[in-house]
Structure 1
Amino acid sequence: MQRLMLIGFLLCIGVIPFCLCPGGEDHGSKVGGSCIEHERRALLAIRADIFDPGEWLSSWTGQDCCQWRGVGCDDTTGHVVKLDLKYPSAYDLIYGTGEIPEPSKVNPSISSLIHLRYLDLSMNNFSCAPIPQFIGSLMHLEYLNLSMAWFNGPIPRQIGNLSSLRYLDLRGGYPFLDKWSGYVEYYPITLRVNDLEWLSRITSLQYLDLSFANLSMASNWLDEINMHTSLLALKLFYTGLPGIPSTLQHVNFTSLTVLDLSYNAISAVPHWLLNISSLVQLDLQGCLFHGRLSTVADRLGNLNHLKHLDLCRNKITGGISQSLWNNTHLEYLDLSENQISGHAAKMFGNPSQLRLLALFGNQISGEISENMGNHSHLEALYLSENRISGEIPKGMGNILNLEELDLSDNQIKGCIPEEILRNSSQLRHLSLRSNQISGEIPKSMWNLLNLEQLDLSSNHVRGGIPETVGNLVHLQLLNLSFNNITGQIQYQKVWASYPNS
Structure 2
Amino acid sequence: MDSSKSKMVIMFVLLLIKFEGGWSEGCLDHEIFALFRLKYFFNDLHDWVDDEGATDCCQWVRVECNNTTDRVIALDLSDTRNWDLGEWYLNASLFTPFQQLESLDLSWNKIAGCVENEGLERLSKLNNLKMLDLSENLFDNSILSFVGRLSSLRSLKLSYNRLEGSIDVKELDSLRDLEELDIGWNKIDKFVVSKGLRKLKYLGLSGNKLNHSILSSLTIFSLLRELYLRDTGFKGTFDVREFNSFNNLEALDMSNNEIDNLVVPQELRLSDNHFRIPISLEPLFNHSRLQIFDAYNNEINAEITQSPSLTPNFQLSHLSLSFGYGDGVTFPKFLYHQHDLVNVDLSHIKMNGGFPNWLLENNTRLETLSLVNDSLAGPFRLPIHSHKQLGLLDVSNNNFQGHIPVEIGDILPSLISFNISMNALNGSIPSSFGNINSLQILDLSNNQLIGEIPEHLAVGCVNLEYLTLSNNNLEEGLYLNNNSLSGKIPRWLGNLKGLKHIIMPENHLEGPIPMEFCQLYSLQLLDISDNNISGSLPSCFHLLSIEQVHLSKNMLHGQLKRDLSYNRLNGSIPNWVDGLSQLRHLILGHNNLEGEVPVQLCGLNQLQLLDLSNNNLHGHIPPCFDNTTLHESYSNSSSLKPFETSLFTTKNIAHIYQGKVLSLLSGLDLSCNKLIGHIPPQIGNLTRIQTLNLSHNNLIGSIPSTFSNLKQIESLDLSYNKLNGKIPHQLVELNALAVFSVAYNNLSGEIPECKAQFATFNERSYEGNTFLCGLPLPICRSPATMPEASIGNERDDNLIDIDRVFRIQFDPLNPSNP
Assess same fold via TM > 0.5: yes
In the alignment, is residue 256 of structure 1 matched against residue 439 of structure 2? yes
Counterpart residue number, 2:524: 331
CA distance 1:239–1:487, shift in 2 (3 Å): same
Q: Which moved more, 1:349-358 or 1:486-495?
A: 486-495
Assess if the C-alpha contact under 8 Å between 2:267 and 2:290 holds in 1: no
Structure 1 gaps of 5+ residues are 1-39, 48-53, 72-76, 88-100, 173-188
Match in the other structure for 1:168: 369
Give 3-state SS (helix, strand or coil) of 1:123's partner: coil
Q: Is 1:488–2:684 an aligned residue pair? A: no
Aligned to 1:105: 301
Give the superposition deviation at 1:42. Answer: 11
1:342-365 residue CA offsets vs partner (Å, 9 max, x unmatched): 478778932421233344565632
**Residue correspondence of structure 1 range 281-360 to structure 2 within 5 A:** 281-287=465-471, 289=479, 290-291=485-486, 295-296=489-490, 298-336=491-529, 338-342=530-534, 349-359=541-551
Give the drift of 1:166.
Answer: 0.6
Compare relative contact order (CA 8 Å, sep 6+) and give the higher one, 1 or 2.
1
- Shift of residue 317 of structure 1? 3.3
What is the distance in 1 between the residues matched to 2:553 and 2:326?
Answer: 38
User: Per-residue displacement from partner, 1:4-39 (whole Å, max 9, x unpaired)?
Assistant: xxxxxxxxxxxxxxxxxxxxxxxxxxxxxxxxxxxx
1:205: how far off?
Answer: 0.7
Matches within 5 A, 1:96-495: 104-105=300-301, 112=312, 114-127=314-327, 129-132=329-332, 134-151=334-351, 154-160=354-360, 161-172=362-373, 190-198=375-383, 200=385, 202-217=387-402, 219-245=403-429, 247-248=431-432, 251-264=434-447, 265=449, 268-287=452-471, 289=479, 290-291=485-486, 295-296=489-490, 298-336=491-529, 338-342=530-534, 349-359=541-551, 364-367=567-570, 369-370=573-574, 373=577, 376-381=580-585, 383=587, 387-391=590-594, 393-394=597-598, 397=601, 399-405=603-609, 407=611, 411=615, 413-414=617-618, 417-418=621-622, 421-425=625-629, 428=634, 429-432=666-669, 435-436=672-673, 438-439=675-676, 441-449=679-687, 451-456=688-693, 459-460=696-697, 464-473=702-711, 475-480=712-717, 483-484=720-721, 487-491=727-731, 495=752
Q: CA deviation at 1:136?
A: 4.3
Q: How far does residue 226 in structure 1 lie from its aligned partner after superposition?
A: 3.3
Partner residue, 1:84 = 294
The number of residue pairs the alignment matches comes to 411
CA distance in 2, matches of 1:500, 1:346: 48
**CA shift at 1:410, angstroms?**
5.3
Distance 2:316 2:513 in 1: 51
Shift of 1:281: 0.9
Is 1:499 the equivalent of 2:766?
Answer: yes
Q: Secondary structure at the match of 1:490?
A: helix
Q: Which shifted more, 237-246 or 204-213?
A: 237-246
Q: Decide whether aligned partners of structure 1 residues 258 and 436 sit closer, same or farther in structure 2, where only a CA change above 3 A counts.
A: same
Q: Which amino acid aligns with 1:499?
A: Y
Structure 2: runs of 5 or more not aligned: 1-236, 272-286, 480-484, 556-566, 635-665, 735-751, 759-764, 769-818
* Conservation of the 8 A alpha-carbon contact between 1:317 and 1:341: yes
Amino acid at match of 1:105: N
Tell me, yes or no, if the aligned pair for 1:311 and 1:334 is still in contact at 8 Å: yes
Match of 2:88 in 1: none
* Percent of residue pairs identical: 19
Equivalent in the alignment of 2:23: none
The 3-state SS of whatever aligns with 1:125 is coil
Query: Using a 3 Å threshold, how does the CA distance of structure 1 residues 418 and 322 change in structure 2: closer, same or farther?
Result: farther
Q: Are residues 267 and 389 of structure 1, via their aligned partners in 2, closer, same or farther at CA, if it must alter by over 3 Å?
A: farther
Q: Distance in 2 between matches of 1:239 and 1:382?
A: 36
Shift in alpha-carbon separation, 1:227–1:437, aligned structure 2, 3 A:
farther
**2:577–2:601 contact (8 Å) kept in structure 1:** yes
Distance apart, 1:169 and its partner CA: 1.8
Query: Does the Cα contact within 8 Å between 2:417 and 2:441 map onto a contact in 1?
Result: yes
Q: CA-to-partner distance for each residue in 1:349-397, whole Å, 9 max, x for gaps?
A: 324212333445656322374177155233432637x742325752751
Structure 1 Cα separation of the partners of residues 408 and 493 of structure 2: 24
SS in 2 for 1:283: strand
Q: Distance in 1 between matches of 2:398 and 2:357?
A: 14
What is the CA distance between 1:323 and its match in structure 2?
2.7
Given that residues 238 and 263 in structure 1 are in contact (C-alpha distance below 8 angstroms), is that contact kept between their aligned partners in structure 2? Answer: yes
Question: Match of 1:181?
Answer: none
How much has 1:416 moved relative to structure 2? 7.3
CA deviation after TM superposition for structure 1 residue 313, in Å: 4.5
TM superposition score normalised by structure 2:
0.43
Amino acid at match of 2:496: L
Do the aligned partners of 2:368 and 2:391 also contact (CA within 8 Å) in 1? yes
Cα–Cα, structure 1 residues 347 and 81, in superposed 2: closer, same or farther, change >3 Å?
A: farther
8 A contact 2:621–2:679 mirrored in 1: no
User: What is the one-letter code of the residue matched to 2:584?
Assistant: A
How far does residue 273 in structure 1 lie from its aligned partner after superposition? 0.8
CA deviation profile, 1:117-154 (whole Å, cap 9, x unmatched): 11223334223645545444432211112334444653
Is contact 1:414-1:436 (8 Å) kept? yes
SS in 2 for 1:154: coil
Match of 1:301, SS state, is helix
CA contact (8 A) 1:366 1:387 kept: no
SS of the residue aligned with 2:691?
Answer: strand
Deviation, structure 1 residue 302: 1.5
Q: Any conservation in 2 of the 1:343–1:365 contact (CA below 8 Å)?
A: no
Whole-Å separation in 2 of the counterparts to 1:328 and 1:192? 41
Give the match for residue 250 of structure 2. Answer: 56
How many angstroms apart in 2 are the aligned matches of 1:238 and 1:355? Answer: 29
Cα offset for 1:258?
Answer: 2.2
